[in-house]
Amino acid sequence: MNDEELLAYHAGALDAAACARVEARLAGDPEARARLADWAAQDAALAQAFGDPASEPVPERLRAVIGEARNSPAPPPAWTFGLSRIAAAVALLALGATGGWLAHGPTTPQPGTSLAQAATTAYRTYVTEVVHPVEVPASDAAHLTSWVSKRLGHPIHAPDFATLGFRLMGGRVLPGEPGTAAQFMYENDLGQRITLYVTQRAQGEDDTAFRFFDQGRESGFWWVDGPFGYALVGDISRDALRKIATAAYEQLI
Amino acid sequence: MPVLDEIEAEIPALRRYARALLRDADAADDLVQDCLERAVARRRDWRGEGPLRAWLFRILLNRLRDLQRCAPRPGHLVPVDDLYPEPGQPAAQEDHMALSEVRAAMARLPEDQRRALLLVALEGFSFDEAALALEIPKGTLMSRLARARETLREMTGRTAKTKGIQR
Q: Is the pLDDT of residue B149 over 90?
A: yes
Mean of the pLDDT values across residues A195-222?
84
pLDDT at A99: 37
Cβ distance B20 to B12 under 8 Å?
no
A175 or A110, greater pLDDT:
A175
Minimal C-alpha gap between B152 and chain A (Å): 8
User: Which pLDDT tens digit goes with each residue over A4-20?
Assistant: 999 999 999 999 999 99
Q: Return the residue of A nearest to B4 by Cα.
A: A66
Determine contact: B6 vs chain A, CB below 8 A: no
pLDDT at A71: 82
pLDDT at A97: 37
In order of A46, B17, B25, B75, the CA distances from B80 in angstroms are 13, 14, 10, 9
CATH architecture observed for domain A66-252: 2-Layer Sandwich (3.30)
Q: Between the ranges A204-213, B49-58, B120-129, B156-165, where is the mean pLDDT highest?
A: B120-129
Q: What is chain A's mean pLDDT, rounded?
A: 81
Q: Is the pLDDT of residue B57 over 50?
A: yes
Q: Between the ranges A178-187, B97-106, B118-127, where is the mean pLDDT highest?
A: B118-127
Between positions 24 and 83 of B, the ones with CB within 8 A of A are 25, 28-29, 32-34, 36-38, 40-45, 47, 62-63, 66-67, 69-70
pLDDT at B142: 96
Residue A125's pLDDT band (boundaries 50, 70, 90)?
confident
Among candidates A161, A153, A185, A126, which has minimal Cα distance to A250? A161
- 3-state secondary structure at position A226: coil
Q: Return the residue of A nearest to B66 by Cα.
A: A208
Determine contact: B88 vs chain A, CB below 8 A: no
Mean of the pLDDT values across residues A130-146?
86
Q: Return the residue of A nearest to B149 by Cα.
A: A39
Contact criterion met (CB < 8 Å) for A11 and B126: yes
Within 8 A of A214 by CB-CB distance, chain B residues are none
Mean of the pLDDT values across residues B64-82?
55
From B4, B95, B120, residue closest to A69, measured CB to CB: B4
* Matching CATH number, B91-167, of 3.10.20.30, 1.10.10.10, 3.40.50.1360, 3.90.1150.10: 1.10.10.10
B81 or B159, greater pLDDT:
B81
DSSP B29-76: HHHHHHHHHHHHHTGGG--SSS-HHHHHHHHHHHHHHHHHHHS---GG
User: Which pLDDT tens digit goes with each residue over A52-97?
Assistant: 888 889 999 999 999 888 887 665 544 444 444 444 444 444 443 3
Contact criterion met (CB < 8 Å) for B19 and A13: no
pLDDT at B148: 95
Contact criterion met (CB < 8 Å) for B40 and A66: yes
Minimal C-alpha gap between A131 and chain B (Å): 37
From A37, A54, A65, residue closest to B16, measured CB to CB: A54
Backbone dihedral angles phi then psi of residue A225, each to the nearest 5 degrees: -155, 135
Q: Return the residue of B nearest to A210 by Cα.
A: B34
Q: Return the residue of B nearest to A252 by Cα.
A: B41
Minimal C-alpha gap between B142 and chain A (Å): 6
Burial of A39 (C-beta count, 10 Å sphere; 0-12/13-18/19+): buried
Residues pairing with A232 in the sheet: A196, A221
Q: Is the pLDDT of residue B125 over 90?
A: yes
Backbone dihedral angles phi then psi of residue A158, each to the nearest 5 degrees: -70, 125
pLDDT at A91: 45
pLDDT at B88: 47
Residue B86's pLDDT band (boundaries 50, 70, 90)?
low
> Which part of chain B is CATH 1.10.10.10?
91-167
Contact criterion met (CB < 8 Å) for A50 and B16: yes
Ordered strands of the A218-225 beta sheet: A136-137, A167-175, A180-187, A193-200, A228-234, A218-225, A211-215
Domain extents in chain A: 3-55, 66-252
CATH topology (fold) of B1-74? Rna Polymerase Sigma Factor; Chain: A (1.10.1740)
Element (H, E) at A214: strand A211-215
Among candidates A53, A177, A49, which has minimal Cα distance to A119? A177
Within 8 A of A47 by CB-CB distance, chain B residues are 122
Contact criterion met (CB < 8 Å) for B34 and A35: no
CB pairs below 8 Å between A and B: how many?
152
From A8, A45, A62, residue closest to B98, measured CB to CB: A45
> Which part of chain B is CATH 1.10.1740?
1-74
pLDDT at A164: 92
A49 or A110, greater pLDDT:
A49
Cβ distance B114 to B106 under 8 Å?
yes
From B28, B41, B43, residue closest to A249, measured CB to CB: B41
Minimal C-alpha gap between A40 and chain B (Å): 7
Within 8 A of A53 by CB-CB distance, chain B residues are 12, 15-16, 19, 25, 28
